[in-house]
Structure formats: structure tokens, C-alpha cells
Structure 1
Amino acid sequence: MTDFLIKSTVAMGILLALYHLLFEREKMHRFNRFYLLGALVFSLALPFITVITYVQEVPQANTIIETSQLVMSPEVPYSTAKGTIYKPITNCIPYLAWSVYGVITFLLAIRFIKNVLSFFRKAKDNPTINIEGAKLVLLDEKILPHTFLNYIFINREEYETNSIENELYTHELTHVKQKHTLDILFIEALKTIFWFNPLLYFYKKAIQLNHEFLADEKVIDTTANTVYYQNLLLEKANVGTTFSMASNLTFSLTKKRFIMMTKTTSSIKAGLLKLAIAPVITVMMMLLCTETIAQEKISDIPADKIKTLNVNKKISQKQVDSLRKANPSVYKSKNPADYSQTKVSYTDKKGKIATKSFFENDTLAAKKDNLSSQIKNALSFVPVDKIKTMKISKDVTQQQLDSIKQSTPRVYKSNNPDDYGKMTVEYTDETGNSASRLFFIEQ
């Protein structure tokens, strides 16, 4: 989840910065609309994209436990010498955080639904008039024209007295015909789920401003009287209220909108600006999506720098086909079950968190004879040939350490949590169900 949030947020930030730097001030509004929406979709999809780079030389890696130089105590598993059961202390912070997130998201979802229903309720409770594929909803309250889906909400008295200028009808009809409300509903739905991401609020403002650029452009093309339209907007400014999920006539009535009404952008310039997206996307893919299979051995990574170690038997057929294509002489089997992937997260020489992956073309069960006697003792509690994943992490808390020292004081002598790690083994038990066991390891 953390990886998803980091990658998606970084992508959103880069693409939004690119928009403000290159595109916002140019008259290429239709492209800008789909750029902003595409940037959001791409940013959310990016964390799920992995570009794996395989090397020609394959490391002769030993098992992940041996190369990590972590020692398993024979009394570490759940069952101690006296036969008592050790139950690890539950960390309540993640549950509390998810509970807070769930409550806030639920409340925002309720508000989102209520806001949507309020527009339909207004349309149902007030008289409507069909006009050019849209429906005018006549309200008694003093409001400026605003649009939601194919409904245009206007003041009833102004409509009956013909006080609403044709330019305003054109403006709102543009919102209806170009379906701008769908964009707003999309960004509002994202804000409901990812309410903690401030970039979404900037995206919404940019999307709504772009909608106004599009509507203004249509009015200018229809009336060919820019000055009159600008004066009309100034006259209507600060009249009535605005609605967060509707297209409002005077949204962001700033200097930007007035400048854009008279601005032109050549097709050549627009084309060159669009081409600038390609290198940015390429760089982001290289930085955020590329996973390199390292040439060096796992043992080349300093054990004290390792943060997490994962051995995963869930190898896809596509990965196996890529491995066999890159190294046909080494990866001979076509069966994904004959391979395992080791992913190592560690602190590099610059102090940054790095991740490397290593593929092994033999099973954990085949390595059983090469394991140390202490590791064999630990794995005797689980069927080795049924192991699906093995994870070693150095995130032992002081509270957990105090608990295991109390149960087996002669094994755990150090009082420093950094001297310990946790190994979680996920496997298939005798009944065919997924099971897991926790072991504490001492460096």
C-alpha cells in the first residue's frame, strides 16, 4: 500500500507540474482536458506496472536465510521447550489507522452521495423545460446558472422575464454537451477515497478551470464579441452561491480566463508541447516501474543493511518465459512451480532504500540438504515443500522483545530490538489450507 501511495503521488505531482509549466497557458483546451484525466488514471495505474530487466549472468544464490547471515535459535518457534505457546503481541497502530481512514472515507462517501442526490431532488421538485438536449430547471432561489449532467439550474423569475443572456445559455449548454460533470464526479470520487492526497484538490481546480476555458471558447466562437462577454461575466461575478459538484458560470473568474479568451496557440507549437510528454513518461517508467535482476549474489549485500527479505514461490508464466528467453541454458524448466523469487530491500551506500530481485531455478525443498542444522530445526515445524513465501524483517518492537525474553531468557540475551528479526513462513498445511508461522531470529 505504501509503495502504491508513493509511486502514484510522485507521478501525479510530476504530471501536474508539467501541465502548469507547459500546457495550462496555451489554447489547447481539449487536449488539456484529456491530459488531466489521463494523468490521474496513469498515476493510479503506474504502481501496478512492472518492467523487469533480466541480466545474462545468473547468480548462484544460496538460500535466502544463509546469505542473510541471520541465525535461528532452536527454541524460537511457537512451541518452546516446556510446550507453552507464544502468542506475538498485536500491533494495534495499523488497525487504528485503518479504522480512522475507514470512518473518514465512509463519511465523505455519504456526503458525496447526498450532494449528487440533491441535484436530482431539485430537478424532480421543480419545473423543467427541454432545450437543445438539456433540461432547464427553474428554481425560486436567487442563483447563477450552473450545470449538473444534463440539468441547467437557473432562476425562474429571470427565465420568465427573459433576463438571462444568450451567452449564458451557450456557456452552460457547452458544459452539458461536453459532459463536464463526468470529469467532476470522477475527481470527487477519487477525493472521497484518497482524501489525504492534497494533489487531487489541485487537479480538481485545474480540471474545472479547463472546463471554463472550453465553455468560454465556445461562447466567443458563437458571438464573436469578446469584450461584451467579459463585461457580462464581471457583471455576474459574486452573485449567488457556487456548488462544488456543478459547473459554475463564474468559477475562478480570474485574469487567466480573460487572457485565454484572446490567446492563440499555433498547431506547430501545440504539437511540440505534446511531444514533451513522451520523455517524461519514459523517465517515470524507468524510475518507478523498472525492477532489475541484479548480477551480483545476494551475499554481496551487507547483512546489517538488509531491511526485508522475501522468498516468493508465486512466479507467473510470463516471468518464466522472460527468464528462459534471457538465459535459456540456465532456466530450462517451463513450470513456474520450479522457480522462486527473492526480493531484498536494503540500505545502499548512499543511505537510500533500494530493492533487488533474484530468481532461483530450484525449489526450497530441493535446498533442504544444504541448510544449516539450526535452520532445519526451525523448518521442521512446517512442510518445506509446501512453503509459498518466506519473509524476514527487522521490525521487532521493544514490547515484543521483552515478551520473548520473558518466555525464553537464556536464548534471547540482548536487550536491543535491532539485534533481532522476524521470519514469517506462509505454507500450505496438511488440509490444503493456507497457514503461517512466526519465528524470531537473533543476529
Structure 2
Amino acid sequence: METVFIYLIKSSGLIGMFYLAYYFMLRKETFFTSNRRFLLAGLIASVVLPFVFITKIIWVEPTTTPINWPSIPVTNYTEEKTFEDYLPMLTALAYGLGVLLLLAKFAFDFYSLNVVLKGKSIQQQADFKFIDVIENVAPFSYFNTIVYNSALYTPSELENILEHEKVHSEQNHTVDVLISRLFCIVFWFNPFIWWYKKAILQNLEFIADNEASKKISDKKAYQITLLKITTHKNCVAITNHFYQSLIKKRIVMLNKNQSKKRNSWKYALVLPALVAFVFLFQIKTIAQEKIAEIQEIENKKTDPNTVDVYKINKNTTDKELDKKASIIKNNYGITATFSKVKRNSDDELIAITVELKKGKEISEIMKTQGNEAIKTFGIVVSKNAKGILAIDFAAEDKMNNGMNTKIGIVSPDEPMTMKEIFINGAKGSQNDMDKLDPDEIESMDVIKKSNKQEIRIITNKHGKMLDENDIYINGEKVTKNELALLDQNTIDKMDVDKREKTIKIVTKTNAQTFNHKDIPTPPTPPKFPEGPMPVPPIPDMSKLPAPPAHPSNVKDKKAMAEFEKKMKEFEKKMESFEPDMTAYEKEVEEVMAKREKIFKKEMAKYEDAMEKYRDAMEKRND
């Protein structure tokens, strides 16, 4: 869930960046079609770029850490839930509720559209479908369907309206409307997306006005039609409707001189911001251990006195795991089972359980899990001069040092000298092992160390603490056998809750069954400061001037002259009605300057922390 929230925050930041670029640099230009492409590209980039990562690998030397149980902190306490524990769940619940409500509104809008269109007579002309309705709704288009009420307009006005709606239909503006609505549903918490949607719809109207006016001889009559449509407030939400509240801006754009082509350079200004986003927030630093090349034999039978290594690393695919299992089965009769496979967003292995079994012999299990990619390990199959087979797990450092640690299945032909026997972690004797009921044995491991051998037995009557308590490793419930296989070096903290009868173990970054020294964690790059932006001034709608009524008889010259006179007065009132945005734009610039200053300070701290991290890595390698 945390990954989803981070993705939504990054996408929201990109949406805000594109909107600000459009608002301050492009909204006053007459590159309407290019602006449409820019706004749609901004939405696409906002959902794609958070998935783009640059991987930076830091090579370190592999080392091992001796087991030191006394250094592991153990506390007895009862964990109490705090508000912070419930905060992610409450946040997810609030976000989901918002999405559901907006989806319901979206579905209702489709229903309202269907009510308007259902049962109406359709007139097909070329690629368009015309529906003349009796309802008092503003003219609108939905894909290639154009809906209007001819009784409300004169023939010349209706012609202007249809030319406008044909542009919407021909250029598939309905797709832009639906995309903007869907983004509002997903990013409803981001105020920029609502302004972004408004900018998209407004620009579509500019496009339609511009194209329609080219086909209409009387541009002034077209503008008068725009004003008349403002009296019709009933609109279908998910369509391209002729009425828009910002009617003055449309009229201004109709009469504005075309922008000079050299102003197109403004579109390129967003590219440095996108590059900065990737390098600031999309770099993954991975510490990779330096290893010697390990020979891996995949497709041939082994000869005596050979050791074959089947390497598994973070990039091993499911297909490759199946292939390894098949080869091991065919070459040695050993069944290799890979389960509990988990991967991160980069498709890297972060958890895997490997079980090896030969016939009815003792099985061996290795489990590795964590929040980061696994460290490379190998399944080692060896034969001695007598053809006796042994199967081991080994980490890279073990493989590089001759694989001295042997953990595995021993061939039944190999003589066994039992030096030490451990039952549920306590040292026992051959007599103790003989007294065990076979049904009580949960697992039995044979461990070879040079000339010594150990038999470790875990029973289902495993001792009071493990028998009465549930065991959790990194929040995941495990069995007693899995606990016994946990590498003690990876344990960071172990808590015993006597009241709830639980044992909770927290491991270091990755928990594996072989020894690896922890790598220092690099510092987290700072995020660009966020917060509320200044609210743009909203005009007092109560003072919005009312347009004059259009004469019913267009042939009445006196009435038309009076109407035109009133229209000029109305246009002057509309010009004074638009709020002054100068103060708002200045506030936005001040806020962005403050955030930039804060971000530079945080970047300086980050660079200092990275320098310390590099020093720590150098000391570790020494």
C-alpha cells in the first residue's frame, strides 16, 4: 500500500508541474492544437515516469560476521497499537471512499446521457448523427452524435452551433473529456487535477471556436450566438457542450492575433524539469558484492570428484528456476522445489524458499526473505571419488572459499559416524534419539563439518516456549522448522509477548540462512516541498452582468440596433468582471521560490550524508 501512495504522490507532483507550465507559459498562446497535445502528454507522463528508474550499482567486498547471540537485544513487552499504526489503513479507506463516490457520479452522468438520447429520432448526415430534442439543454456532442434543440435558435444561430459541435466530433474531443474525468477520479485529492481538467475543456472550446469561425462568414454573429447560449445552464457532464462559463475568454481568443511561431520554444522548457524529476526521485542505489566468476553446469551429467553449482540470484526468473529443478532432477534424482517466491516492482527476487529432497531421505530447506533483493546463493551438488553424493546450500563467499560448509543430504551408501546429536536445540545421545517416536519428528537435518557430523532433530513437542507461542519473522507467521533455519546473524531484535503468546523477530535488511555483513544504507534523497498553493481570486458571480435578450424578430432593424448597443455595454462590463491575476501569480512565484530554497538546503544535507556513506563503504571494504 505504501508503494501505491508513493506512486500517487509522484504522479500528482508531475500533474502539478505540467499544469503550472501550461498556466504560466502557454494558456495565453493561440497554439490550441499543440496545447491539447501538451496537456494530454502531461497526463501520460505523470502515470509513466514514476515507473522509470535509473539503477546505480555500488560494488562492495563480501565479508562474513561471526554469530554473537548475547549482542542480540531481547525485550519482553506487550505491543500496543497507536494512531500511527492505523493511519495507513485510514488513509487508504479515505482514498478508496473518494474514488467510489466519484465513480458513482461518473456512472450517474452516463445514465443521464442515456436518458437524453434514449428513444430519440436520429438523422444521419455523412459521419455525424443529429438528434433534435425538445428538452431545454445546451447543445452538445458525444463522439459523432450531436444533440440540440432547434426550437431555441434561429437558423443562422443553429448553423453556427452545428459547425462548432462538428469540430468537437471530428477531432474526437470526447476522448479528452473522458480521460480528464478518469484522472479526476484517481487523483481526486490533488487540486491541480481539477484545474488541469478545466484547462483541457477550455482549450477544446478554443479549438472548436477557432475552426468553426473559419467556416463562418459573420464572426460577430458567432460571438453573439456564444452569448445567447450562456442563458442555457442545463449541460450533460461527460460531453462536449457548447456552453462554457468562461465565455469572455473564448471571445477574447476568437479576436486575438495568432501567436508567433518562435514562441513554440516554451514547450521545451518542461523537459529539464522532467529530467530533474528522474534524477532526483527515480534513482535506485544497489549495493552489489564483488564475486569471482562461479562455474555453473546446467546441461551435463557430473563425473566423480566434481562440484556443480546451480546459482540463484535476484534476477533469476521463474522459467530459469523450473529449468534448474528439471536439470537437478534428471542429473541426480533430487527433487528441488521452489516456493514462496516474491518479487519487487523491478521483478527482482526478495523472498524464496528452496526444498531439496532425494527419495525418502532427509530433506533440506533454505529460506531467504526481506524487503530488498536477495543475495546470490547456490545449490551445490558434489561427488567424491567413491561416487557418494552430497547436496549443499552455499553463499557466494562460501563458494569462493572452497565451499567448506556442507549442509545437505548424504547418500545412503556413505558411512555415517554420528558425533553429536541435538534434539530441539539441546544436546542428546544416541539413546535419546532411539527413544523418539517417529511420528513426533517434524524435521531432521544432517550437517557435515569437516570430519564431524551433527544430527539436528526438531519434534512437534518442541519445548514450552515454541509449543505455546506463535512465531513471526518480519511480520510473517512461520513454523518452528523455519525458525530453526533462520540465520542468527540476521536477527536485529526479538520480542516475546507472554500475554498474547507470540514471539516476534525482526531481522536486518535481508534474512538469509547464510552469513553476510550488512551494507550501510544510503541516505534517502529529499523530496521537493509540497503544500497548499495560493488560491486564485474568484469573481463575485452575483455581480456577473446579464446579457441582453436577443430580439425575436431579426428583421426588426430598430430592435437589432438597440440589441447591438446593449451588447457593446455588456462586453465592457464583462471586461471589468474578470479578476486581476497579477497578485495571485506573484504569490505563486514567491511560494515556489521559498520551496526551491528549502529544497537546495535539503540537497546540501543529502550530499553531505552521501559523502559519509561513501566513507563508511570505503572503511568497510578496507
Q: 1:174: which partner in 2? A: 167
* One-letter amino acid matched to 1:116: F
Tell me, in whole angstroms, the C-alpha distance in 2 between the residues paired with 1:426 and 1:139: 69
Aligned equivalent of 1:111, options 105, 115, 118: 105
Q: Give 5+ residue unaligned stretches, structure 1.
A: 81-85, 298-311, 318-336, 343-356, 370-377, 413-419, 429-443
Q: 1:11: which partner in 2? A: 14
Q: 1:200: which partner in 2? A: 193
Change (3 A) 1:277 1:195: closer
Tell me, in whole angstroms, the C-alpha distance in 2 between the residues paired with 1:136 and 1:266: 38
Change (3 A) 1:260 1:61: farther
Q: What TM-score does the superposition give when structure 2 sets the normalisation length?
A: 0.46
Tell me, in whole angstroms, the C-alpha distance in 1 between the residues paired with 2:179 and 2:70: 49
| Secondary structure at the counterpart of residue 125 of structure 1 | coil
Give CA-to-partner distance per residue, 1:93-146, whole Å, 9 cap, x none: 544544444444334323312312332342232222223422222221222211
Q: Do the aligned residues in 2 keep the contact of 1:237 with 1:253 (CA within 8 Å)? A: no
Give CA-to-partner distance per residue, 1:179-207, whole Å, 9 cap, x none: 11111111212222332232221111011
Give CA-to-partner distance per residue, 1:37-94, whole Å, 9 cap, x none: 1111111112211111335xx122657999xx99645799xxx9xxxxx999795554
Change (3 A) 1:196 1:360: same
Q: 1:22: which partner in 2? A: 25
Aligned-residue identity in percent: 25
Change (3 A) 1:293 1:70: farther
* Bigger Rg, structure 1 or 2: 2
Change (3 A) 1:241 1:71: farther
Aligned equivalent of 2:267, options 265, 269, 274: 274
In the TM superposition, what is the alpha-carbon distance from 1:25 to its structure 2 partner? 1.2
Structure whose residues are more often helix by fraction: 1
* One-letter amino acid matched to 1:222: K
Aligned equivalent of 2:41, options 33, 38, 45: 38
Q: Do the aligned residues in 1 keep the contact of 2:143 with 2:173 (CA within 8 Å)? A: yes
Structure 1 segment 324-363 matched on structure 2, within 5 A: none
Change (3 A) 1:184 1:137: same
Tell me, in whole angstroms, the C-alpha distance in 2 between the residues paired with 1:421 and 1:188: 44
Structure 1 segment 426-441 matched on structure 2, within 5 A: none
Does residue 150 of structure 1 match 2:144?
Answer: yes
* One-letter amino acid matched to 2:249: K
Does residue 236 of structure 1 match 2:236?
Answer: no
Change (3 A) 1:313 1:384: farther
Task: Supply the RMSD in Å over aligned alpha carbons.
Answer: 4.9
Tell me, in whole angstroms, the C-alpha distance in 1 between the residues paired with 2:512 and 2:283: 29
Q: Do the aligned residues in 1 keep the contact of 2:139 with 2:243 (CA within 8 Å)? A: no
In the TM superposition, what is the alpha-carbon distance from 1:7 to its structure 2 partner? 1.0
Q: 1:436: which partner in 2? A: none
Change (3 A) 1:174 1:111: same
In the TM superposition, what is the alpha-carbon distance from 1:425 to its structure 2 partner? 7.5
Structure 1 segment 350-389 matched on structure 2, within 5 A: 366=395, 382=482
Tell me, in whole angstroms, the C-alpha distance in 2 between the residues paired with 1:386 and 1:285: 38
Tell me, in whole angstroms, the C-alpha distance in 2 between the residues paired with 1:92 and 1:248: 44
Tell me, in whole angstroms, the C-alpha distance in 2 between the residues paired with 1:70 and 1:250: 76
Change (3 A) 1:284 1:119: same
Tell me, in whole angstroms, the C-alpha distance in 2 between the residues paired with 1:4 and 1:215: 35
Tell me, in whole angstroms, the C-alpha distance in 2 between the residues paired with 1:264 and 1:87: 68
Structure 1 segment 191-270 matched on structure 2, within 5 A: 191-261=184-254, 262-270=256-264
Does residue 120 of structure 1 match 2:114?
Answer: yes
| Secondary structure at the counterpart of residue 291 of structure 1 | strand
Tell me, in whole angstroms, the C-alpha distance in 2 between the residues paired with 1:110 and 1:65: 60
Q: Do the aligned residues in 1 keep the contact of 2:139 with 2:149 (CA within 8 Å)? A: yes
Change (3 A) 1:168 1:156: closer
Tell me, in whole angstroms, the C-alpha distance in 1 between the residues paired with 2:71 and 2:94: 39
Give CA-to-partner distance per residue, 1:340-398, whole Å, 9 cap, x none: 899xxxxxxxxxxxxxx9995557952798xxxxxxxx9985389999xx998x9x9xx
Q: Do the aligned residues in 2 keep the contact of 1:391 with 1:424 (CA within 8 Å)? A: no
Does residue 190 of structure 1 match 2:188?
Answer: no
* Structure number with higher relative contact order (C-alpha < 8 Å, ≥ 6 residues apart): 1
Tell me, in whole angstroms, the C-alpha distance in 2 between the residues paired with 1:296 and 1:232: 72
Tell me, in whole angstroms, the C-alpha distance in 1 between the residues paired with 2:23 and 2:229: 28
